[in-house]
Amino acid sequence: MGADGNKVYLTVGGRPVLAYALAACEAADVVDDVVVVVRAGDESLAAPLVAAATKVRAVVPGGTTRTRSEQAGLAALGRRPAHDVIAIHDGARPFLTVALLERLVEAARCDGAAIPALPAPPLLRDEGGRLVAWGDGPLVHVQTPQAFLAGPLLAAYDAAARGGEEGADTAETVARAGGPAARTVPGDPRNLKVTTPADLPVAEAHAARWRDGVWIDQRS
């Protein structure tokens, strides 16, 4: 992003990026408890965002890898009944919807693990000939949240903490530990990850059509 600080605190549509996903969790009946994992030293930046969030149970510093940050969040969440569903989301994806959360929780309850996915774009190269995208086939573009039954999720991260393999994302870490393969559910094309400056005007346009986890132009 090239910003002076963490991109999840950049303002989009008059609100910090992170505030959008928190608002969706607040609005979703399928969400009971939220743990926010932040970069060490960013706790004071997160504090005003979670102050009014009734479902946030803790704000904890993350680790040096994605898996270790997720482990920190799971530790703060505590042991849960094996049949509970735990979803892990990237706060740099602001436009989380209640509908997507509901689809994922339902699928995870049935199959043990669920991830949102969209068809991958066709093979693309830039003007210099470098590969920038691929697809046209069984490949999909995976988003977050990723949702899992608590039993296999916590077992997988316990194994990773003991020196097991870390995956590129939550679903891969669970699968490498012998957990269920993730079922894909339809993702949301507007559930973008704010990554580069070019994403900011797109996010501004999305923000005008999003209200507390609902797209007001399609009511879903």
Query: What single-letter amino acid sits at 83?
Result: H
Query: Tell me, what's the pLDDT at 137?
Result: 58
pLDDT of residue 31: 97
- What distance in Å separates the CA atoms of residue 84 and residue 176, rounded to the nearest whole number? 21
pLDDT tens for the chain, residues 1 to 220: 777 778 999 999 999 999 999 999 999 999 999 999 999 999 999 999 999 899 999 999 999 889 999 999 999 998 899 999 999 999 999 999 999 999 999 999 999 999 999 987 666 666 777 766 655 556 788 999 999 999 999 999 999 888 877 888 999 999 999 999 999 999 999 999 999 999 999 999 999 999 999 999 875 4
- For residue 55 the two structure tokens come to 């479902």
Place of tokens 């669970």: 174
Q: What's the pTM value of the predicted model, to 2 decimals?
A: 0.90
Q: How far apart are CA 8 and CA 95, in angstroms?
A: 12
Where along the chain do its domains lie?
A: 7-211
Question: In 10 A of CB 205, how many CB atoms?
Answer: 13
**Measuring CA to CA, how many Å separate 26 from each of 23, 55, 105?**
5, 6, 15
- Residue 114 has a pLDDT of 98
Query: In whole angstroms, what is the distance from residue 83 CA to residue 143 CA?
Result: 23
- Residue 6 confidence (pLDDT): 87
7-211 CATH pick, 3.40.50.300, 3.40.140.10, 3.90.550.10, 3.40.50.1100: 3.90.550.10
How far apart CA 90 and CA 118 sit, in angstroms, is: 17
